[in-house]
Amino acid sequence: MACTSCASDKAGTFNDPKWRRALWIALAINATMFVIEIVAGITGGSKALQADALDFFGDTANYAISLGVAGMAIAWRARAAMLKGATLALLGVYVLFAAGWGALHDATPHAEIMGVVGIAALIANLVVAVMLYRFRSGDANMRSVWICSRNDAIGNIAVVLAAGGVFGLNSAWPDLAVAALMAVLGISGGFQIMRQARAEMRSEPSPAPATYQQSLHGSR
């Protein structure tokens, strides 16, 4: 599906109250889960939970940006998507570095905290993903929101599985492996968003040059 046709066909959706309401709910859910996961991640010593908490924080900012550019021209929406894609990719790089650092320095995290909070985060992200499912084929800005929700749900499942691994093996490696997986998802999703946003910016028609008569009127 071409990016330009998606953008032009879906442009009116940004003024749809259902789209805006879904984004506001998603923003509130992600902001709440950020606080819960960052506290649980630090308390439980889990790099995967801390990475997921930062992801929730990034998504909260992403939804706020999406609401800010709703109804604007495709070029502005594509620029916002480009910023979100870059943020997601940079977050992935940070998480990958943190996982490597943790492999050398961190102790075994608390599996019980990882499991309980991971399940809560999965439920939260599934609710958001279901709300935003209908918008997954929109322009780069809409697609970026869907990709974030999809990646988050996959990451939450991995966190829950890692909790079982940490409990069974009494080792930090399952936690660190999930943190690395989430980093790869973030980097991949960020580049997907930036590629589509770049294509939409290139496809945006340039303003027509002023004619000689228009120039004369403008100089009067």
Read off the pLDDT of each residue in 194-199 and give the average, rounded to a whole number.
88
Q: Is residue 107 a part of any domain in this protein?
A: yes
Coil, helix or strand for 207? Answer: coil
Other beta carbons less than 10 A from residue 137's beta carbon? 13
Residue 21 in contact with residue 150, Cβ under 8 Å?
A: no
pLDDT at 123: 94
- Distance from the Cα of residue 205 to its chain's centroid: 28
Q: Per the structure block, which two tokens stand in for 161? A: 């599985």
Q: Is residue 144 a part of any domain in this protein?
A: yes
Q: Write the pLDDT tens digit of every residue in 52-73.
A: 887 788 788 777 777 776 667 7
Q: Is residue 7 a part of any domain in this protein?
A: no
Q: How many domains does the chain have?
A: 1
Q: What is the pTM (predicted TM-score) of this model?
A: 0.69
Q: Is residue 118 a part of any domain in this protein?
A: yes
Of 20-29, 125-134, 144-153, 169-178, where does mean pLDDT reach its minimum? 144-153
Q: Is residue 216 a part of any domain in this protein?
A: no
Maximum CA pair distance of the chain?
81
Q: What is the CATH number of the domain that holds 123?
A: 1.20.1510
Q: What percent of the chain has pLDDT over 70?
A: 77
Q: Is residue 217 a part of any domain in this protein?
A: no
Checking if the pLDDT of 8 tops 50, the result is no
pLDDT band at residue 206 under the 50/70/90 scheme:
low
Residues spanned by the domain of 20: 12-202
pLDDT at 35: 93
Q: Is residue 208 a part of any domain in this protein?
A: no
Checking if the pLDDT of 7 tops 50, the result is no
pLDDT band at residue 6 under the 50/70/90 scheme:
very low
Q: Is residue 104 a part of any domain in this protein?
A: yes
Residue 46 in contact with residue 79, Cβ under 8 Å?
A: no
pLDDT at 140: 64
